[in-house]
Amino acid sequence: MPIPQIHLPKKSPKEKPAEQAHDGVKMTLRGVDGTLRELSEKDLYLEVGGSRVLKFRVLVKTQFKNKQGEPVRDSLLKPGDQLAVQVNSDDPETALRVILSRAATPGERASASKPFDHASAKVPVEDDTKPAGTIEVETLPIGPGQLIDPHWVLRENVVTFVALHNAIVIDRARALGLCQPTY
């Protein structure tokens, strides 16, 4: 005697509502090329133009890459290495990306390892940098299947906050000329 098949309902993926779609914005990057003098957990000292030393803030989200764009462990970078440091034009003190252009020779490593006056290191300004392209930045996604999916009483407040936050970020970036709308 054959057994009848049981058809269970299937859950189909939900479409993202238009009001919950998130916008991406392009952020303008600025860059500085130089020789690594010192790299600590929070700071990077880069020698530019022979004797000037610039101090950059390093964050947990700072990306370390090689010329091909592959990730590199920051612990592998040594004094004397040739680097390109990319920053947001609105915050030139914070390193967003550090790109290893070339490893140092033994002579360069010995020269760059010599002590220097940390107090004389300058915080970079826009004149110290040059254009280095753009990076795509996404705003906070919210809703079913997204990073933020509130299921409690304050859901409307969270949705309103995220929408307001995203609008402020995009408006500020556009006012500073850092981004263009993506379509």
Q: For the chain, list the domains and their CATH numbers.
A: 19-24+136-175 (no CATH), 28-134 (2.40.50.320)
pTM of the model: 0.63
Per-residue pLDDT of the chain (183 residues; tens, 9 = 90+): 677 777 766 766 655 554 444 456 677 889 999 999 999 999 999 999 878 999 999 998 899 999 998 999 999 999 999 999 999 888 889 999 999 999 999 999 999 999 999 999 999 988 888 888 877 766 666 666 665 555 555 666 667 777 888 878 887 777 777 766 565
Cβ(74)–Cβ(98) under 8 Å? yes
Q: Please count the CA atoms within 13 angstroms of the CA of 145 that sit on its side-chain side.
A: 8
Ordered DSSP codes for 32-73: EEEEEEEE-SSEEEEEETTTEEEEEEEEEEEEEEETTS-B--
